């Protein structure tokens, strides 16, 4: 049931995004900071929904203490995680060009572009591992947040690679 509902949420979110946005342009730097912090803070109410649903479904034994401990741990982790998130966003968007097209023209690849691809590929791979875990576990709110951070990582990647090259408007 968890995997099925997770796949439904994942598929519906991707389909809705593809219907809503015909041109894929990145946000501005300010929008990236504001939206990323807002999405990160959505992990807190998302964990309340997740644990309440699991508790209501009977996943925890009746003699268990409560769901309060994981909720407090998640809240503290999210609040502490704001510091590295903002530091990461600040450092990676420092010399970036925003807004820009998310799709990269192959002519823009040089040795520096390839190194940036490897750097961003590592973070995208890590995000995909989390997205897969959230989907398998049926954590609906975290699936949407992880998809949003995939978009943010792709935007930061494009901003770094396109920083040195003037925008011609051509996507691919």
Helix H, strand E, coil C: the string for the chain is CHHHHHHHHHHHHHHHHHHHCCCCECCCHHHHHHHHHHHHHCHHHHHHHHHHHHHHHCCCCCCCCCCHHHHHHHHHHHHHHHHHHHHHHHHHCCCCCCCCECCCCHHHCCHHHHHHHHHHHHHHHHHHHHHHHHHHHCCHHHHHHHHHHHHHHHHHHHHHHCCCCCCCCCCC
Higher pLDDT, 103 or 87: 87
What CA–CA distance (Å, rounded) separates 28 from 162? 14
Whether 139 contacts 50, CB under 8 Å:
yes
Higher local confidence (pLDDT), 65 or 35: 35
What global pTM score does this model have? 0.83
Between residues 109 and 122, the one the model is more confident about: 122
**Confidence check: pLDDT of 110 > 90:** no
The pLDDT of 52-80, averaged and rounded, is 85
Contact between residue 124 and residue 146 where contact means Cβ atoms under 8 Å apart:
no
Q: What pLDDT band is residue 19 in, cutting at 50, 70 and 90?
A: confident
More confident residue, 24 or 118: 118
**Maximum mean pLDDT: which of 71-85, 129-143, 153-167:** 71-85
Rounded to whole angstroms, the Cα distance separating 108 from 140 reads 37
* pLDDT exceeds cutoff 70 at 144: yes
- Report how far Cα 108 is from the mean position of its chain's Cα atoms: 25
For residue 64, pLDDT beyond 50: yes
Residue 99: both structure tokens together: 């807004």
Backbone angles phi, psi at 101, to 5 degrees: -75, 140
Tell me what the pLDDT averaged over the chain comes to. 85
- Residue 159: pLDDT over 80: yes
Would the pLDDT of 22 be above 80?
Answer: no
Between 5-19, 24-38, 80-94, 100-114, the lowest mean confidence (pLDDT) is in 100-114
* Residue 80: predicted pLDDT: 97
């Amino acid at each position: 049931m968890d995997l099925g509902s997770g796949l439904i949420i994942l598929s519906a979110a991707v389909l809705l995004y593809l219907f809503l946005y015909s041109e894929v342009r990145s946000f501005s730097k300010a929008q990236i900071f504001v939206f990323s912090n807002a999405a990160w803070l959505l992990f807190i109410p998302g964990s309340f929904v997740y644990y309440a649903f699991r508790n209501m479904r009977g996943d925890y034994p009746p003699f268990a203490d409560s769901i309060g401990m994981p909720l407090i741990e998640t809240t503290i982790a999210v609040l502490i995680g704001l510091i590295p998130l903002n530091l990461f966003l600040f450092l990676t968007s420092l010399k970036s060009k925003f807004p820009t097209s998310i799709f990269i023209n192959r002519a823009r690849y040089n040795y520096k572009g390839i190194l940036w691809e490897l750097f961003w590929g590592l973070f995208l791979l890590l995000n995909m591992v989390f997205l897969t875990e959230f989907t398998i576990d049926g954590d609906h709110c975290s699936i949407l947040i992880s998809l949003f951070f995939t978009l943010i990582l792709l935007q930061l990647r494009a901003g770094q690679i396109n920083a040195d090259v003037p925008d011609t408007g051509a996507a691919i």
